[in-house]
Amino acid sequence: EKGGHEYFMLKEIEEQPEALANTLRGHFESGRIILDEQRISDQDLRDVDKVFVVACGSAYHSGLVAKYAIEHWTRLPVEVELASEFRYRDPVLDRDTLVVAVSQSGETADTLEAVRHAREQKARVLAVCNTNGAQIPRESDAVLYTHAGPEIGVASTKAFLAQIAANYLVGLALAQARGTKYPDEVAREFAELEAMPAAVQKVLSTVEQTRDLGRRIADSRAVLFLGRHVGFPVALEGALKLKELAYMHAEGFAAGELKHGPIALIEDGLPVVVVMPSPKGRAVLHSKLVSNISEIQARGARTIVIAEEGDETVRPFADELIEVPAVPTLLQPLVSTVPLQVLAAEIARARGYDVDKPRNLAKSVTVE
């Protein structure tokens, strides 16, 4: 049931605090991060010298976000690969490689084939999956289940946020095994994750404002999304949501690339969504993005800025401002993605499309 909502996706967006809380529950006991089914020994986990995240679509974006955290916490190199590309380019894999396969359905053909390829090459495979007993977790050496609950809308929302949280748990489990984080640091990171359902709940109080904005820009021809650091994959995710639901041309860019091409796309009235980093947590990147926004605004773009509450410097350059609560930088995608989901859904609705069943798409893609 849609729980009184016009479409499932809105209900699922609102279920995100619960999805996060359920995904984290039970994974920190007696001062240690624990995975679900772990058929990889502690020693093998300690010996990991390289991590690949393989996935498709939104799950791939969750991997791009997690790369920042896993590298920071573990000092291991992390490569994030589209599952459909992974096994066709002869990736360098051996028994000290950990391949994290992220899939909501656990049945995505490309991700499953990537898992099989990795195992043939003797790599260890850990599945992050939302569906109990699906094929990908069945064929993996370890599993971490996201407990987002069934996701009906074709566009991933709560599963995506849960995937980020689960990927972070994988990062913390590795940091703990390798000793790159002290136990009290792991505990602190986990506590920060545990505070996220409340932060996401706060963002949900801006849903009506964002829906209103969606209706106002629904007849645009295209929308661009910009971000930096963890805000970059959030921009990619925002653009994917808009493509799949509203059938609009949408692109996500790393803001630092603007002058290397994308700025040529800016024209009068073009909506550009900018995911701002924290002015305190990432002051240097913040000021670079402020100057990017002023440049695109001067060229006529309609700037839609997702910024931390109380970020005054950005105000003069924001034609539209959506505030999200201040959270640690690595966790920012969990709050800044939410308005982008709402925006895409509402633009699609305003254009008269079926938000839960976009054209040409299936919930899980079981053919390559």
Distance (Å, rounded) from C-alpha 47 to C-alpha 41?
10
Token pair of 264 as six digits: 């040529």
Which amino acid, residue 53? Answer: V
What is the nearest approach in angstroms of ligand M6R to the Cβ of residue 325? 24
Token pair of 104 as six digits: 């909501």
Q: In what order do the strands lie in the sheet with 249-254?
A: 249-254, 222-227, 271-275, 302-308, 320-324
What is the nearest approach in angstroms of ligand M6R to the Cβ of residue 306? 19
Rg, Å, the chain Cα set: 20
What is the nearest approach in angstroms of ligand M6R to the Cβ of residue 110? 8
Q: Which of 50, 288, 357, 363 is catalytic?
A: 363
Nearer to ligand M6R, 134 or 285 (CB): 134
What is the nearest approach in angstroms of ligand M6R to the Cβ of residue 237? 8
What is the nearest approach in angstroms of ligand M6R to the Cβ of residue 251? 16
Distant-in-sequence, close-in-space partners of 1: CB < 8 Å, separation ≥ 6: none
Nearer to ligand M6R, 57 or 233 (CB): 57
Nearer to ligand M6R, 218 or 365 (CB): 365
Nearer to ligand M6R, 275 or 314 (CB): 275
Residues that bind ligand M6R (CB under 6 A): 56-59, 103-105, 108, 111, 154-156, 240, 244, 364-365
Token pair of 165 as six digits: 């949280």
Nearer to ligand M6R, 44 or 107 (CB): 107
SS3 26: coil
Token pair of 312 as six digits: 């005054």
DSSP 353-366: --SSS-TT--SS--
What is the nearest approach in angstroms of ligand M6R to the Cβ of residue 263? 28
What is the nearest approach in angstroms of ligand M6R to the Cβ of residue 163? 7
Nearer to ligand M6R, 54 or 305 (CB): 54
DSSP 195-214: THHHHHHHHHTTHHHHHHHH
Token pair of 149 as six digits: 């609950």
N-to-C CA span, the chain: 31
Q: Is 363 labeled as catalytic in the residue annotation? A: yes
Closest alpha carbon to 16 in 232, 253, 333: 333
Residue whose entry in the numeric block shows the structure tokens 């700037």: 303
Quick one: DSSP state of residue 276? P
Distance (Å, rounded) from C-alpha 225 to C-alpha 273?
5
Nearer to ligand M6R, 146 or 292 (CB): 146
Closest residue to ligand M6R: CB criterion: 57
CA within 13 Å, CB half, 300: 8
Distance (Å, rounded) from C-alpha 212 to C-alpha 269?
17
Residue 220's CB is within 10 A of a number of other CB atoms, namely 17
- What is the helix, strand, coil percentage profile of the chain, to 5? 50, 15, 35
Active site residues: 363
